[in-house]
Amino acid sequence: MPELPEVETWRRLAQKHAVGKKISQAFVADDSIVFDRNDPTTLPHILEGRSISATHRKGKHCWLSLDNGQDLYLHFGMTGSLHWLPDLAAEPSHIKLRLHLSDGSHLSYRNLRRIGRVRLLDDVTALPPVSLLGPDPLEDDFSVQTLQSQLSKRKAPIKAILLDQKVFAGVGNWIADEVLYAMKLNPHTSCASLDPTQIQELRSTLLNILTQAVDLDADASRFPKDWLFHYRWGKKATSDAQGASIQFDQIGGRTTAWVP
């Protein structure tokens, strides 16, 4: 599933290539699952003629603000992605939404498994799921004090709480594992047992990993070679970059990769 770095990379792509441009034409796939709040047959007529005035992201959620005050919300589900194309020659398959921009380029939303959602809303931030999210580590108040007040009340494992979008908006499974791996912190550790120094380290490590991933355009092939990311996937994963054994546990209903 796309996590915060991927979604921020796509937001920046839209910011660079689409903001200030008019939607001259819109293609909307006839898919009532992806377009669960708007009629796919009438949505193109609403979008056409509008200009994209801004881009936003919170956690794994992204939206484009239009010049009429509405928001075009994009959620990527398991396999969604956003593409900017100067022409359509290299456009991938499974495009659900294509915005033809006034300079002749295109902004296309792709989704293979139809788990993502596209919605035209009056205010994304006033409605679930965005209204239910906690602080975004890169965008919102994410002080040590805020974290300490959140974590000190919880006895659940730190790995499970890292995945709680009401506490860490945008943090997904591999990021949580990477943070704990970098800290050499057992993912089963109770949040309430963390001392202020560990919470400060948790915050700085999370911000460091997210910032690096975003700066590298969420291109996994460019991630540091000693990251657990490169060694944690698949049934044949056995050891990290140093040869230490990787263990896989279920924590909070998710598979956790860690190195005891």
In whole angstroms, give the CA distance from residue 247 to residue 232: 9
In three-state secondary structure terms, 201 is helix
Active-site residue 3, yes or no? yes
Where are the extended beta strands (E) located within the chain? 23-28, 52-58, 61-66, 71-75, 80-85, 95-101, 106-111, 117-121, 247-251, 254-258
Active-site residue 58, yes or no? no
Question: What DSSP string describes 44-81?
Answer: HHHHTT-BEEEEEEETTEEEEEETTS-EEEEE-TTTEE
Active-site residue 260, yes or no? no
Could you give the angle at which helices 196-215 and 4-17 cross, rounded to 10 degrees? 40
Exactly one of 60, 137, 157, 178 is catalytic; which is it?
60
Which residues carry out catalysis? 2-3, 60
